[in-house]
Amino acid sequence: MTNIPKKADILFSAYSVEPYQILKDAMKRKKEDIIQELLDSGLRGRGGAGFPTGMKWKFGAAEKADQKYVICNADEGEPGTFKDKKLLTDVPRKTISGMAICAYVTGATKGFIYLRAEYRYLLASLEKEIEVFEQKAKEFGLDFEIKIFMGAGAYVCGEETALIESMEGKRGEPRNKPPYPIQNGYLGKPTIVNNVETLASVSMVCRLGAEEYKKLGTSDQKGSKLFSISGDSPKEGVHELELGMKVSDFVTEYGDGDTKAIQVGGVAGYCIPRKKFESTIIGEGQTTGGSTLIFNSTRSMYRVLHNYLDFYAEESCGQCTPCRVGCQQLLKGIEAVKAGTKPPKYLDQLMKLSNTMNLTSKCGLGQSVTNSFTTIVENFREEMIF
Amino acid sequence: MTNITLKIDNVDVTVEKGTSILDAAKKVDIRIPTLCHHEDLCIAGNCRICVVEQIGKHTLTASCATPAEDGMEIKTSSPKIRKARKDIMSLLVSEHNTQCTTCYRSTNCELQDLAAEYNIDNETYLSVLKPNLEIDKSSWSIEKDDSKCIRCQRCVRTCADIQGVNALAVTEKGNEMRVSTFMHLTMNEIVCTNCGQCITHCPTGALTERRYYDEIWDAIDDPDKHVVVNTAPSVRVALGEMFGYEVGTQVTGQMVTALKKMGFDAVLDTDFAADLTIIEEGHELLARLKAALVDKDPNIKLPMITSCSPGWVKFIEHMYPNHLGHLSTCKSPQQMFGAAVKTYYAEKKGIDPSKIVCVAGMPCAAKKYEANRPEMRSSGYQDIDAGLTTREIGHMIKQSGLDFKDLENGEFDSLMGESTGAGVIFGATGGVMEAALRTVYAVITGRPVPFERLNITPVRGLKGIKEAGIKFENCLPEYSWLEGVEAKVAIAHGLTNARVIMDEVAAGTSPYHFIEIMACPGGCIGGGGQPIPTTDAVRIKRTEAIYKEDMEKPIRMSHENPEITEIYEKFLKAPLGEKSHKLLHTKYRTRKRY
Ligand SMILES: Cc1cc2nc3c(=O)[nH]c(=O)nc-3n(C[C@H](O)[C@H](O)[C@H](O)COP(=O)(O)O)c2cc1C
Ligand code: SF4
Ligand code: SF4
Ligand code: SF4
Ligand code: SF4
Ligand code: FES
């Protein structure tokens, strides 16, 4: 049976009549109720780690501090991803409402949008929108101001603790966790970091209610989500889809009829080969962030992996051994196998290495290299060798 | 503070909340390997060698960077951990220029030790060592060899946190990430104070002192040259560590014998020059106090600050160039010594000063650079020809084939070999202050300082900034203007502490008359040229040895040193006199702040 993946029209749906009506309505509710609504909705972070948003806010609200911060992560450094940009361009009010609801629920009084350096052109329009918001916030009696912080330009600065370090004027290196930003974030204060899409989704959960929102998705993944589709697809672009679709259905809709593999979740994600299309549900038990890449049979998976590793070797912050040296070793290693200067079984050594990187790296970057590395090498081993 | 209990390798451990897993394990004698961790420094958690298993968690946990939690269950040894650690070591070695046979840190290298422990080979991974890395030998004091760097950032944290200098920084990212300087300038072009603390905190041979011992051997072998060596007080309480002695063992006598057997023509004591410094600096202080209190001269700079630590001097020249007037004009003991050797000593011994090579054995890296400051030639020659660290002296003794432990005790040669307990304690933070107060108080009142057995304990110890006050009562007639005055003093060690003191001076709010500042934590006993490792436990033991040597000295006040009396009678004439000014005092310069 083929199912066309259900398109959803939530995140880009038209605004309600009055600007910030969602916020106004939310502020009439008890804070605990909103947290419960989010928990019930099953909403998970859309920035990559997939942490339940309601839980994060619950912890944030429970922290005692004289100052708390909300940070909207708009660093979107992942190659092939442009969904956050589209949200901030088309419906910025939804994300800003999300930030404000977060402020209301957790008691934060200052917020930042950490905007990717390449999105500087959005600055003027966003600032204008923030002015509108702050007017409304005053009207609603919400003590919350938002500032835009221009990103440092490195991919790793999207990692929440590196992002905070860079906001503090330091080198964008991920911190040790624990403590998490929720306990010890920006300037040592409790800080709630959420992705642009997560915050927009919060607005929509508040508007639709958890029951309605939950109707979309599977047992594991609730709601709808934006997919930045690129690669060998006639329908490249940002698409909002209901979570929980089979890869085969997805490929039928978005592939070019000759798809041999897709990469879900961007560089940090997994490669799914054709033979597993039927048995795999997108996003189940896996990363939820980033882009979806479609590869047809003309693609060399060696090149694909090579590109990823090149990216990692360059974009690692370089501080921790497994990631800094490991990325270089994986890259040089597959080159050596391809060139025949290392035997094919060296790939097994590299698989073990990617496992060590996963177990010992300091942040999600080094930890996630193994996802694409093992899934590509396991499924396309002969392409690595010949 | 609340206590928590966790299980490490099935042993219950109770520690204060906030203690790292690493420290909790130490408490029950479980050793976890570390590289980026150093107990002097803040946590980095970047080498990842200290990973342990936390039951219930898939990924491994960096034990140095993770606080222990109540009920946690930790395993520190398992196949998963061993494999991961071995892999991490293999990775470090794969980007390393492994040349142990020619490396200065060989046998004292944390990377080498762990590589041996895990029996790392060169086969597992390809080499990703960056080609064409050049050793930066531009500095008089510090050599930086990036091919031996494991990017643990211990040097960066040392320079930033302990020294407040920030001469070193991480630059680039990914495979290009490295430890570099502002705009990648060479080490002689930056704010580096040459203190050498980054060297003693580096786990590998990436940062070392510039070695001068080949030149010294050449001089010793040259029959035409008269080679004089003087050793600083803190060398004798640390050198033993190079030969397996317990930390804090005094090896003064054996050191002297070794140096004589190595062929130095005279083995003299820097402590003599420390005593000389006290006379000059003490009188300078009195002169400044008089000018300020009696003559009400508004141009007199108080507090006066010591100038014996060349790293500190370079720091103030860079960071507080408008406040150089507060520095005592006295040269450091090393430089006073050199100037006196090439004039007074040469004259007395009837040796042509151009034939004298004056070597200083120092706990310090900055002394190498200081010896080469262009001002330091008032004798008509370069006052000090070369500075050696304690480590280099240890190497030279080994090179000469001596069995250090079997050596008999020797005595310093004379002329400039006699010293007092006051000279000895220069080696520890607070020592210069204590030595100065012992003499100044005696000069003013004719009585010894009112502390039991002359031990001015408030100025001692490892507290970052120490303060004390001493009241002058029943002064001798010529010092009646000081009657009832309480001299307020402060002592700082480590340049981050110096900054706190200097910010007060710069703001005009400093309440002190006299301040002692040493660049290195603990003072010279913790100097950048001392045996590695240096930690607080080591500093405490070396300090104890210093004060023990002080107590053993028959004379414990600088002005009672008979050789000091003699040099003033026969040569210098008077403290702050014309000759002193020419030979023993110096000028400072302003430097840029980048
Ligand atoms: C290397 C790296 C890069 C990341 N980049 C981004 C990013 O560009 N945008 C983002 O929202 N989250 C990014 N994250 C995830 C954040 O660390 C963090 O989990 C997220 O912002 C939390 O928001 P969420 O709970 O709404 O997903 C990145 C993580 C890693 C490890
Ligand atoms: S895993 Fe990579 S990006 Fe993350 S801290 Fe380590 S080196 Fe930096
Ligand atoms: S730094 Fe250590 S491991 Fe490297 S060459 Fe020197 S002694 Fe050997
Ligand atoms: S010698 Fe001292 S000042 Fe220079 S880089 Fe090292 S720690 Fe910093
Ligand atoms: S120079 Fe030494 S201390 Fe600094 S990062 Fe390299 S290995 Fe570590
Ligand atoms: S010693 Fe713990 S990470 Fe380096």
Residue A152 pLDDT? 83
Helix (H, G, I), strand (E, B) or coil at A306: helix
**Weakest-pLDDT range from A42-51, A135-144, B20-29:** A42-51
B240 CB-near residues (< 8 Å, 6+ apart): B246, B249, B250, B251
**Domain identity same for A209 and A321:** no
Sequential DSSP letters for B291-328: HHHTS--TT---SEE----HHHHHHHHHH-GGGGGGB-
Gap between the Cα atoms of A145 and B17, Å rounded: 36
Position A294 in a domain: no
Catalytic site residue B358?
no
Q: Is B579 exposed, middle or buried (0-12, 13-18, 19+ CB in 10 A)?
A: middle
Q: Which of B308, B330, B358, B364 is catalytic?
A: B308
Gap between the Cα atoms of B56 and A134, Å rounded: 45
Token pair for A25 = 């309505």
pLDDT in tens, B511-522: 999 999 999 999
Strands (E), B351-416: 356-362, 386-389
At residue B353, does pLDDT exceed 90? yes
Position A372 in a domain: yes
Gap between the Cα atoms of B94 and B90, Å rounded: 6
Residue A339 pLDDT? 97
Token pair for B341 = 């050797």
CA atoms B94, B97, B99, B103: torsion sign = negative
Confidence of residue A2 (pLDDT cuts 50, 70, 90): very low
**Weakest-pLDDT range from A239-248, A316-325, B228-237, B371-380:** A239-248
Catalytic site residue B549?
no
Gap between the Cα atoms of B97 and B148, Å rounded: 6
Position A255 in a domain: no
Which listed ligand is nearest to B110 at the C-alpha?
A: 3
Residue where a domain stops, chosen among A180, A213, A246 = A213
Nearest-neighbour CA in chain A from B44: distance (Å):
8
Q: Are A325 and B91 in contact (CB under 8 A)?
A: yes
pLDDT in tens, B254-276: 999 999 999 999 999 999 999 99
Domain B3-77 class in CATH: alpha beta
Q: Is A349 exposed, middle or buried (0-12, 13-18, 19+ CB in 10 A)?
A: middle
Token pair for B357 = 């090579």
Number of structural domains chain A divides into? 2
Position A6 in a domain: no
Token pair for B251 = 């090896």
Q: Are A154 and A118 in contact (CB under 8 A)?
A: no
Give alpha helix (H) positions in B268-419.
270-293, 310-319, 333-340, 346-349, 366-371, 390-399
CB–CB contact A324 B175 (8 Å): yes
Confidence of residue A1 (pLDDT cuts 50, 70, 90): very low
Pick the CATH number of B92-209 from 3.30.70.20, 1.20.210.10, 3.40.50.450, 3.40.50.720: 3.30.70.20
A355 CB-near residues (< 8 Å, 6+ apart): A370, A374
Distance, CA of B490 to chain centre: 19
Half-sphere exposure of A225 (CA within 13 A, CB side): 31
**Domain identity same for A35 and A176:** yes
Half-sphere exposure of A382 (CA within 13 A, CB side): 0
- CB neighbours (10 Å) of residue A121? 9
Which homologous superfamily is B286-330+420-534+546-584 in? Fe-only Hydrogenase (Larger Subunit); Chain L, domain 3 (3.40.950.10)
Confidence of residue A286 (pLDDT cuts 50, 70, 90): low
Confidence of residue B66 (pLDDT cuts 50, 70, 90): very high
* Amino acid residing at A262: I
Gap between the Cα atoms of A305 and A284, Å rounded: 23
Residue positions counted in chain A = 386
pLDDT in tens, B144-163: 999 999 999 999 999 999 99
CATH of the domain at A179: 3.40.50.11540
Confidence of residue A153 (pLDDT cuts 50, 70, 90): confident
CB–CB contact A360 B48 (8 Å): yes
Mutate to test the pocket of ligand 2, among A160, A315, A316 (most ligand atoms within 8 A of CB): A316
Position A98 in a domain: yes
**Domain identity same for A93 and A205:** yes
Residue A4 pLDDT? 65
**Domain identity same for A195 and A336:** no
Angle between helices A301-315 and A321-339 (to 10 degrees): 150
Mean pLDDT of B306-315: 98
Domain range annotation of chain B: 3-77, 92-209, 219-272+334-406, 286-330+420-534+546-584
* Amino acid residing at B302: L
Residue A283 pLDDT? 73
Fill in the DSSP letter of residue A152.
-
Closest chain B residue by Cα to residue A350: B125
Closest chain B residue by Cα to residue A318: B174
Report how far apart, in Å, the C-alpha atoms of B509 and of each of B471, B488, B501, B514 are.
Answer: 21, 13, 10, 14
CATH of the domain at A363: 1.20.1440.230
Q: Are B173 and A317 in contact (CB under 8 A)?
A: yes
Token pair for B66 = 């993770």
Q: Is B591 exposed, middle or buried (0-12, 13-18, 19+ CB in 10 A)?
A: middle
Residue B235 pLDDT? 98
- The mean pLDDT of chain A is 94
Reported pTM: 0.96
Residue A266 pLDDT? 87
Residue where a domain stops, chosen among A163, A179, A213 = A213
Residue where a domain stops, chosen among A184, A213, A242 = A213
At residue A240, does pLDDT exceed 80? yes
What is the b/e burial string over A283-303, where b = at least 16 CB atoms within 10 angstroms of the residue's CB?
Answer: beebbbbbbbbbbeeebebbe
Give the residue from B63, B70, B111, B126 with the most A CB atoms within 10 Å of its CB, the best one to mutate: B126
Mutate to test the pocket of ligand 4, among B41, B154, B163 (most ligand atoms within 8 A of CB): B163
Q: Is the CB of B34 under 6 A from ligand 6?
A: yes
Percent of chain B residues topping a pLDDT of 70: 100
Helix (H, G, I), strand (E, B) or coil at A265: coil
ipTM rounded to 2 decimals: 0.95
**Domain identity same for A30 and A142:** yes
CB–CB contact A178 B49 (8 Å): no
Phi, psi of B75 (to 5 degrees): -115, 135
**Domain identity same for A201 and A326:** no
Percent of chain B residues topping a pLDDT of 90: 99
Span from the CA of B181 to the centroid of ligand 4 (angstroms): 11
Q: Is the CB of B41 under 6 A from ligand 6?
A: no
pLDDT in tens, B121-130: 989 999 999 9
Q: Are B57 and B51 in contact (CB under 8 A)?
A: no
Position A218 in a domain: no
At residue A3, does pLDDT exceed 70? no
Pick the CATH number of B219-272+334-406 from 3.40.50.1780, 3.40.1010.10, 1.10.3720.10, 3.40.50.1100: 3.40.50.1780
- CB neighbours (10 Å) of residue A77? 19
pLDDT in tens, A96-126: 999 999 999 999 999 999 999 999 999 999 9
Gap between the Cα atoms of A124 and B323, Å rounded: 47
Half-sphere exposure of B12 (CA within 13 A, CB side): 6
Position A7 in a domain: no
Q: Could you list the residue range(s) of the whole structural domain that residue A116 is in?
A: 19-213
Position A280 in a domain: no
Return the H-helix or E-strand segment holding A95: helix A92-106
Helix (H, G, I), strand (E, B) or coil at A367: helix
